[in-house]
Amino acid sequence: MNKDAAGWPGGLPGMNVAQSAQQLAEGWSQALKGMTGLSLPAQALPELQASYLRDAAALWNAAADSQDPPKPGLGDRRFAAPDWLANSSAAYMAGMYLLNARTLLKMADEVQADEKTRQRLRFAVQQWVDAAAPSNYLALNPEAQRKALESKGESIAQGLQHLWHDIRQGHLSQTDESVFEVGRNVATTAGSVVFENELFQLIEYAPITAKVHERPLLIVPPCINKFYILDLQPENSLVRYALGQGQRVFMLSWVNAGENIGDKTWDDYIEDGVMRAIAEVQAISRQEQINTLGFCIGGTLLACALAVQASRGEEPAASLTLLTAFLDFSDTGILDLFVDENMVQMRERALAQGGLLKGRELAATFSFLRPNDLVWNYVVGNYLKGETPPPFDLLYWNSDSTNLPGPMYCWYLRHTYLENNLVEPGKATVCGEPLDLRLIDVPAFIYASREDHIVPWQSAYTSTQVLPGKKQFVLGASGHIAGVINPPEKKKRSHWINGKLPKTADAWFEGATEHAGSWWPAWTAWLTPQSGKLVAAPKAAGGRTRKAIEPAPGRYVKARA
d(CA 382, CA 171) in angstroms, rounded, equals: 12
Phi, then psi, of 536 in degrees rounded to 5 = -60, 135
Domain boundary among 150, 180, 204: 150
Where in the sequence is the domain holding 276, given as residue range(s)?
191-358+403-558
Does the residue 96 lie in any domain? yes
Banded pLDDT at 6 (limits 50, 70, 90): very low
Query: What positions carry a catalytic annotation?
Result: 296
Spatial neighbors of 147 by CB under 8 A, at least 6 apart, are 155, 385, 386
Domain boundary among 133, 150, 167: 150
Do 77 and 215 share a domain, yes or no?
A: no
pLDDT value at 303 more than 60: yes
Question: pLDDT, tens digit, for every residue of 17-56?
Answer: 555 555 555 565 555 555 556 677 777 778 888 888 888 8
What's residue 4's pLDDT?
37
Among 150, 168, 201, the domain-final residue is 150
Q: Do residues 257 and 323 share a domain? A: yes
Lowest mean pLDDT among 178-192, 217-231, 330-344, 528-542: 330-344
Domain membership of residue 521 (yes or no) is: yes
- Identify whether 226 is part of a domain: yes
Residue with more model confidence, 67 or 6 = 67
The pTM of the full predicted model, rounded to 2 decimals, is: 0.89
For a pLDDT cut of 70, what percent of the chain falls above it? 91
Residue 441 lies in a domain: yes
Residue 119 forms part of a structural domain:
yes
CATH at 411: 3.40.50.1820
Whether 459 is covered by a domain: the verdict is: yes
Which amino acid is located at 106 in the chain? K
Lowest mean pLDDT among 3-12, 98-107, 225-234: 3-12
User: How is 256-268 classified by DSSP, letter by letter?
Assistant: ---GGGTT--HHH
Distance, in Å, from the CA atom of 439 to the CA atom of 309, rounded to the nearest integer, reads 9
Total domain count, the chain: 2
| Cβ atoms 56, 20 nearer than 8 A | yes
385 domain-assigned: no
Nearest to 552 by CA among 195, 177, 178, 180: 195
Backbone angles phi, psi at 203, to 5 degrees: -100, 130
- Ranges 79-88, 146-155, 157-166, 209-218: which has the least confidence: 79-88
Task: Please check whether residues 208 and 76 belong to one and the same domain.
Answer: no
pLDDT at 68: 56
